[in-house]
Amino acid sequence: MAPQIKDNEGDPYCPINRELEGVFFWVTRSRGDLPTISPFGDIRVVVPLERVFDESARLYFLDFYCMSGQSRNHYVTLVLTERKSKANRFCRKHLVRLEEDENVFLMKEGGTYKTLRQDKVWVEVF
């Protein structure tokens, strides 16, 4: 999957719009399994978090929003960067950094990962 520049979809005032390249991943699981439906398309792929969320990673809070026409579902968007990257420097200036082991959205706990356990809140990572 090739990184793409973040477009203007979602919040028009989102600070990463047209600034960062990346790929969106949905990290919320349905009862421990991949969900059967998704607003992001019909392709499913599993990426082990330890491949991208390692010691060189930094996690930032980007947005909490509701999609038009889907008022029952809410979305939390996080940005995961490499510590010494241009994207990390940008995020450090414009976003709120989350501690990898002390946040409710996507947390490293020992050798595993936890995400927010709410039926109507979906967590995605850019």
Q: State pLDDT tens for residues 54-109.
A: 888 899 999 887 766 666 778 889 999 999 999 999 999 999 999 988 888 888 77
Please check whether residue 90 is in contact with residue 52, taking contact to mean a CB–CB distance below 8 angstroms: no
Question: Rounded distance, CA 50 to CA 17, Å?
Answer: 27
pLDDT at 12: 79
Given a cut of 80, whether residue 34 has pLDDT beyond it is: no
Nearest alpha carbon to residue 22 among 34, 47, 75, 39: 47
pLDDT at 86: 95
The whole-chain average pLDDT of the chain stands at 82
Domain-wise residue ranges, the chain? 23-36+48-125
Please check whether residue 15 is in contact with residue 115, taking contact to mean a CB–CB distance below 8 angstroms: no
Top mean pLDDT of 2-11, 39-48, 68-77 is at: 2-11
Q: For residue 21, what are the β-bridge partners?
A: 5
Q: Of all residues in the chain, what percent carry a pLDDT higher than 70? A: 83
Please check whether residue 33 is in contact with residue 13, taking contact to mean a CB–CB distance below 8 angstroms: no
